[in-house]
């Protein structure tokens, strides 16, 4: 197979080590802008993957991420932030990192080459038809990631591949391939730069859109977040006030009655019902605030 584009050396950065700091920084900044721009042509493919993922996850499936090295760490970062931000259940999140948890903090030799361990991990976690597995690899050739995607697809899971090099095994393995053509890096092969940035943006877009469509926001408000500290409890109150237009005292009382559940308090106030009825309406609509309000005949902004 031809050398992946992410491994090529760019003439643009020849003599990089001889440049002064302002020139180095400016050139690296330009590369980061180019990395984000490279996602534009991939948006149609990302749209198809996102819409398919929403359908599976709405049926109760799990969201799984797989990767090695930089790509794996980028994937894990996106995944773990879904729990506090959108209250995504931890038992519906599967993280397959080549080398295990230890590889999040340091390199684990040869871990990315262990296709057998990837296949075993997919089987161990019983990844199946309702699940969505996202594999991320800049080169698109990482054995661990490719094997995990192949195994998950064989077991009926919806598979998405994010790669920065075209015509690679990872893109061929997935049902929904997403190529982000970032090209050669400033430092040849250092995919923590452009490729890593593009991957993070792609996963941010994907997971955020998925959570929005699953009803874990109301309007553009973070109504599913876990208020685990003073800052977030203050944000909860501000969100409720913004969404309802009511004063602090009314919103505080509603949150207390709802045992701190922002969605329940929000539906209660906007629909003019009690917390029990609000909770029942949310359960009936899968936690969608807007859909609950529509079902109750209340106006939704």
Candidate list 81, 250, 257, 280, residue with the active-site label: 81
Nearest alpha carbon to residue 79 among 62, 98, 58, 64? 64
How far is the CA of 212 from the CAs of 84, 228, 271, in angstroms?
15, 21, 21
Please tell me which residue in 14, 30, 51, 112 is annotated as part of the active site.
112
Beta bridge partners of 97: 67
In sequence order, the 6+-apart residues with CB closer than 8 A to the CB of 203 are 74, 75, 78, 134, 136, 162
- Per the listing, tokens 């874990």 go with 216
Is residue 177 a contact partner of residue 162, using CB atoms and an 8 Å limit?
A: no
> Catalytic site residue 257?
no
Number of helices (H), then strands (E), in the chain: 13, 5
Please indicate whether residue 81 is annotated as part of the active site: yes
Q: Which of 188, 211, 244, 210 is nearest to 5 (CA)?
A: 188
SS3 75: helix
Active-site positions?
Answer: 81, 112
């Amino acid at each position: 197979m031809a050398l992946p584009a992410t491994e090529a050396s760019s003439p643009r950065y020849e003599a990089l080590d001889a440049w002064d700091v302002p020139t180095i920084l400016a050139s690296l900044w330009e590369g980061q802008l180019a990395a984000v721009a490279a996602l534009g042509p991939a948006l149609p493919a990302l749209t198809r993957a996102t819409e398919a993922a929403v359908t599976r996850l709405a049926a109760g499936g799990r969201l799984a991420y797989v990767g090695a090295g930089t790509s794996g760490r980028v994937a894990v970062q996106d995944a773990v932030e879904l729990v506090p931000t959108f209250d995504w259940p931890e038992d519906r999140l599967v993280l397959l990192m080549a080398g295990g948890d230890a590889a999040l903090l340091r390199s684990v030799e040869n871990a990315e080459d262990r296709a057998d361990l990837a296949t075993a991990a997919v089987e161990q976690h019983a990844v199946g038809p309702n699940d969505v597995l996202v594999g991320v690899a800049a080169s698109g050739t990482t054995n661990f990631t490719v094997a995990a995607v192949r195994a998950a697809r064989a077991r009926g899971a919806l598979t998405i591949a994010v790669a920065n090099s075209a015509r690679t095994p990872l893109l061929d393995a997935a049902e929904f391939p997403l190529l982000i053509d970032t090209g050669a890096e400033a430092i040849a092969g250092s995919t923590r730069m452009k490729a890593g940035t593009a991957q993070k943006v792609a996963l941010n877009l994907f997971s955020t859109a998925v959570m929005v469509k699953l009803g874990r926001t109301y309007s553009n408000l973070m109504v599913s977040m876990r208020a685990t500290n003073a800052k977030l409890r203050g944000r909860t109150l501000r969100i409720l006030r913004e969404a309802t237009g009511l004063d602090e005292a009314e919103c505080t009382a509603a949150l207390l009655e709802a045992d701190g559940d922002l969605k329940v308090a929000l539906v209660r106030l906007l629909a003019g019902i009690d917390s029990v009825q609000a909770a029942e309406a949310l359960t009936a609509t899968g936690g969608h605030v807007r859909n609950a309000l529509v079902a109750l005949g209340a106006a939704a902004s």
